[in-house]
Amino acid sequence: MTQPTMPRSVAAPRSVAAPRSVAAIVLAAGKGTRMKSDTHKVLHPVAGRPMLLHLLAAVGELAPAGVVVVTGAGRDQVEAAVAPLGIATALQAEQLGTGHAVRQAEGALADFDGDVLILYGDVPLVTAATMHRMLDRLRAADAPAAVVLGFRPDDPGAYGRVIADAEGSIVRMVEYKDASDADRAETLCNSGLMAVRAADLWPLLARVGNDNAAGEYYLPDIVMLAAADGRGSAVIETDAHEVAGVNSRGELAAVEAGWQARRRVAAMRDGATLIAPDTIWFAHDTILGRDVTVEPNVVFGPGVTVADGATIHAFSHLERATVGAGAEVGPYARLRPGTVLGANAKVGNFVELKNAVLGDGAKASHLTYLGDADIGPGANIGAGTITCNYDGFLKYRTTIGAGAFVGSNSALVAPVAIGAGAIVAAGSVITRDVEPDALALARGRQESRSGWAARFRALMRAKKAAR
């Protein structure tokens, strides 16, 4: 799946016709000390994609007028990750709370007068649909000052609480540290995600103080400040898994496990057979066709598409590869980036392909490495065959024609071409092109010396006895 293309400008230009365009502020300034990692917290992957890029992909579906990522510790890593998307960043030099973090984006959005989504880089799985629901509620006839995204986890723990009436109007919001026992008994929790009009956001944030247990500037305080002005705010709810945050390796593993479990259910619902679902791992963009069968302990890295009726046998690993209709992979096969298998092609046990195209009905059944190669339809590649594609400096390509037969334990030294219908004798080292329908034989001549082995054994036994 390609990453979303973001506009280079973060401010809503005056040429934007829609009066209620949307911008997003993504908070990613936290140190993430509990991750105990040199990699910034928001860049740790879920389903093969960094958490921050999961979130930005969802934001991209809204066609935002601007996106600002607020950075802090490890800013260089975050800036490098978002630079290809043309997304602006703003620095929070001191960690003084969520309200303070959001204010750092004010300069980048100074000319923006639409609706602002406030999101978190370590809460990666929020969907575009949920963001749309937040915006729709903000734009409803009663015009709430802010919309808060709430959830009800199995264990509310130390989450801030949202106290609301039956219609979802917020009575008050309170951080856990400042909550009473009665407040903590409430089960509706604050995810931290919010939608606010830009015209309201900045004036409200300017009034937020830090007279609280942590001495921080809390973003949720804007709800109560708006209430003091006589303006209500609203809460909508979503599933807890969608707003699960990641602050530790354990939480990262839990988010990954939950994502994988839901993806397996979706794959089976859409017509794939997973023999042992809990042992199969998907990437964020894995595509499986109808009647695909996936045996146990298969790993799909990013960029894999499997067409209808294909079978992925046990213990195979695929990444940035395309598998054609009815093709077979494995067991114990590895398809590396650039691999394309045609319809009904077969890749067997302990076969590795990289940047290689295996034509319709072609076979490499076992113990083979094919790198930088084009193999024609119906070709058969014998066990132990390798394409020698790298000289330590450059890569070279091997071409094998339709219906060619390459015997076992052959080495094809690229660049080289094997013509259609040609036969390469087992054990050959091929360094020159082979014409179509020819036999290529390139191996040492066999000799047989009668009685030599018996004489050798007698000589060695005598030497050993003399010691």
Q: Which residue numbers are catalytic?
A: 366
Q: Are strands 363-375 and 146-151 parallel, antiparallel or unpaired?
A: unpaired
CA 158 to chain centre: 29
Q: What is the Cα–Cα distance from 73 to 40, expressed in whole angstroms?
A: 8
Beta bridge partners of 259: none
Q: Which residues contact 409 (CB under 8 A, 6 or more apart)?
A: 382, 383, 384, 385, 426, 427
Question: Does the bond joining 331 to the residue before it have cis omega, within 30 degrees of 0?
Answer: yes
Distance from the first to the final alpha carbon of the chain: 70
What is the SS3 assignment for 287?
strand
What is the SS3 assignment for 92?
coil
With tokens 């100074």, the residue in question is 110
Number of continuous H segments (helices) and E segments (strands) in the chain? 9, 33
Phi and psi angles of residue 204, each rounded to the nearest 5 degrees, phi first: -65, -45
DSSP structure string for 322-371: EE-TT-EE-SS-EE-TTEEE-TT-EEEEEEEEEEEEE-TT-EEEEEEEEE
255: exposed, middle or buried (C-beta count within 10 Å: 0-12, 13-18, 19+)?
buried
What is the SS3 assignment for 77?
helix
Q: What is the Cα–Cα distance from 235 to 187, expressed in whole angstroms?
A: 13
DSSP structure string for 144-183: -SEEEEEE--SS-TT--EEEE-TTSBEEEEE-GGG--HHH
Is residue 262 a contact partner of residue 281, using CB atoms and an 8 Å limit?
Answer: no
Q: Which residues contact 456 (CB under 8 A, 6 or more apart)?
A: none
Q: Are strands 22-28 and 161-164 parallel, antiparallel or unpaired?
A: unpaired
Is residue 23 a contact partner of residue 106, using CB atoms and an 8 Å limit?
Answer: no
